[in-house]
Amino acid sequence: MAEDGLQTLSNRDMENLRNKMINKLIKTDAHFKHQQRGEPDLTEEEKSSIALDILNKSPTLFLERFSTYLSFEDTRYFNDQKGDYLVDFYIEEISKRSTNCNQKVVKNRRFRAMQKLMDEGEYFSENEMKWREPLLYEQMVGQYTSESEKMEQMEQDIDRSDLRLSSILLKHMDIQTNKQFCEMQKEKEEQQEEESESEEDDSDEEDKSQKNAQVDSQIKTKNREDADCDADSDDSDAERKYFRSEFLRTMQEKFLSGEDASFDYRFVYSVF
């Protein structure tokens, strides 16, 4: 039984790992040996021979020279050397770099997916985002929208090419369902706030303020500052435009962070 959860590799597995590692390495710009000016570049066969010679003589020296070109998968070859301080050090460095690289790849794929959805126009439209996050929309945009504007928006949402009673009723049911979902989100948020306040009875005010949700804090502050603003003024129009842009930015950030519950991220990881 291998210790520390390490799988024992057969000689063939070790050979395959080594060959794969060396074949990748010789295609990089790694430095294999000092050459005089005017000397021809090393062939891949020469690079492979040099790398294998170093690996066989000293795995530690091999890692010291080439670790920046190795992947986490390559570290399996050095399982038998684990416990050596330098070997453990380089394996940890490779692991950290691989993790950071994987995170960057994931972020880039999410960003490309978001750009595609933005270009298509529907997923990140205000109406679609409002249906996905009704409470957040109400906090960031809805509370600054007049009743007449809300009615106008509802009328715009109705498909004028389909004014059958059944379609209108279904649309009304959708609106009511969305309102109920918004109320459920609000109740859940209030319950979480109450639980948080109960747990923090013994903490000071500074700790409490730091744990408040950032978006909620910004919205409440802005709401108090703008409570007396005229809804029909140019300033109010500019503010509503600002809040809409902030809502869009927040939804984009949720998407990029992998927190958009309405989106199947498996599609991103398999396509992009």
Give the count of alpha carbons within 13 A of 180, CB side only. Answer: 6
pTM for the predicted model, two decimal places = 0.50
- Better-scored residue on pLDDT, 148 or 233: 148
Residue 168 pLDDT > 50 = no
Q: Running DSSP on this structure, what letter comes out for residue 6?
A: P
| Per-residue pLDDT reduced to its tens digit, 27-67 | 999 999 888 888 898 999 999 999 999 999 999 999 999 99
All structural domains of the chain with their residue ranges:
3-33+41-109, 121-197+213-224+231-271
The C-alpha atoms of residue 50 and residue 147 are separated, in whole angstroms, by 76
Task: Calculate mean pLDDT across residues 158-169.
Answer: 50
What is the tally of helices (H) and strands (E) in the chain?
12, 0
The C-alpha atoms of residue 38 and residue 79 are separated, in whole angstroms, by 40
270: burial class by Cβ within 10 Å (0-12, 13-18, 19+)? exposed
- Better-scored residue on pLDDT, 206 or 81: 81
Contact 94, 74 (CB under 8 A): yes
**Residue for token digits 């303020």?**
209
Task: Calculate mean pLDDT across residues 192-202.
Answer: 64
What percent of the chain has a predicted confidence (pLDDT) above 90? Answer: 36
Contact 114, 255 (CB under 8 A): yes
The C-alpha atoms of residue 20 and residue 13 are separated, in whole angstroms, by 11
- Better-scored residue on pLDDT, 149 or 108: 108
**Residue for token digits 């294998």?**
52
- Nearest CA-CA partner of 126 in 238, 231, 247, 218: 247
The C-alpha atoms of residue 136 and residue 182 are separated, in whole angstroms, by 9
